[in-house]
Amino acid sequence: MTKRAFVFSSSAAHSLSPAMQGAAFAALGLDARYEAVGLEERELPEAVAGLRANDVYGANITIPHKVAVMPLLDELTPQAQAVGAVNTVINRGGTLIGHNTDASGFARALLEDAGYDAESRDTVMLGAGGSARAVGLALLRAGATLGIYNRTLEKAEDLVAALERYGNVGLIRPPDLDRAVLRASLVVNTTSVGHETYAAAASPLRAGVLPRELVVDIIYRPPETPLLRAAAAAGLETQNGLAMLVYQGAEAFTLWTGQDAPVAAMFGALRAALE
């Protein structure tokens, strides 16, 4: 029986997951297919019901369906509850389990690929959207001392309140941003500033304002954002969003198939798809 997995997003065309997960199935010789499905929110209940079929591993869920999918599932893992969103659905014999691999994917990328241990390190996170919640959670679980800055102050305040019980987190107000960044070891950008859909080459930080060791941008299109370019030029370590993307997918792959994910094949497929 050919197994199936899906990604549910707003538009089937944009997702890189089919290339990455398809390469993973192929690398292990699994008889399985991975398909992108573009859906509107009102189509979600029927699509989710289809995941209960016995030839289905499950699905990845991307923007904008990560929250709307939650009430349609049978169980939520503690990770999905902590992030407040589901990016992976697992079909266990007709029972649908909602999980989230974004925080663990970010944590693995930081530790394994950047070789960075965030324990007790001053960290600034830029942004307070959906991705920021997963990244902030991962940083606090890794023991970072975290400051959150966002263009819209109230959203940063809400995120600080939501994350407070996971560790040492505080709000950074606009006049304090430069000082907080200069003192920090690590800055993580979770805003969309620097994404290729931005017309102007923009960095979320003022020129010359950088942390002491590492800059991570969870954007991978382009592979080097203006922020990462500035950081590299200043001699800092840098990491883009590719590793987070691979590791969140690798964990989903393992939950579906029960096998170790072939991450080298997944990195290769993504790099090829991005070129």
Q: Which residues bind ligand ATR (CB under 6 A)?
A: 63, 127-132, 150-152, 155, 190-193
Which residues are part of the catalytic machinery?
Answer: 66
Minimum CB distance to ligand ATR, residue 94 (Å): 30
Q: Which residue is nearest to ligand ATR (CB)?
A: 129
- Is the Cβ of residue 52 or residue 155 nearer to ligand ATR in the bound state? 155
Closest approach of ligand ATR to the CB of residue 115, in Å: 25
Q: Which lies closer to ligand ATR via its Cβ, residue 60 or residue 91?
A: 60
- The rounded distance, in Å, linking the Cα atoms of 140 and 63 is 24
Nearest CB to ligand ATR, comparing residues 28 and 162: 162
Taking every pair of C-alpha atoms in the chain, what is the biggest distance, in angstroms? Answer: 60
Closer by beta carbon to ligand ATR, 4 or else 65: 65
We find the least distance from the C-beta atom of residue 195 to ligand ATR, in angstroms, to be: 9
Per DSSP, 72 falls in state G
Minimum CB distance to ligand ATR, residue 7 (Å): 16
Strand partners, 91: 96
Q: How far apart are CA 140 and CA 164, in angstroms?
A: 9
CB of 66 to ligand ATR, least distance (A): 8
DSSP code at position 54: T
DSSP structure string for 237-255: EEE-THHHHHHHHHHHHHH
50, 57, 43, 54: which is closest to 9 by C-alpha? 43
Strands, DSSP E only, in 85-139? Answer: 88-92, 95-99, 122-126
Question: Exposed/middle/buried for 194, CB within 10 Å: 0-12, 13-18, 19+?
Answer: buried
Q: Which is nearer to ligand ATR, 218 or 261 (CB)?
A: 218
Burial of 231: CB neighbours in 10 Å, binned 0-12, 13-18, 19+? buried
Kindly state the helix (H) or strand (E) to which residue 273 belongs, with its residue range: helix 263-274
Chain mean position to CA 74: 23
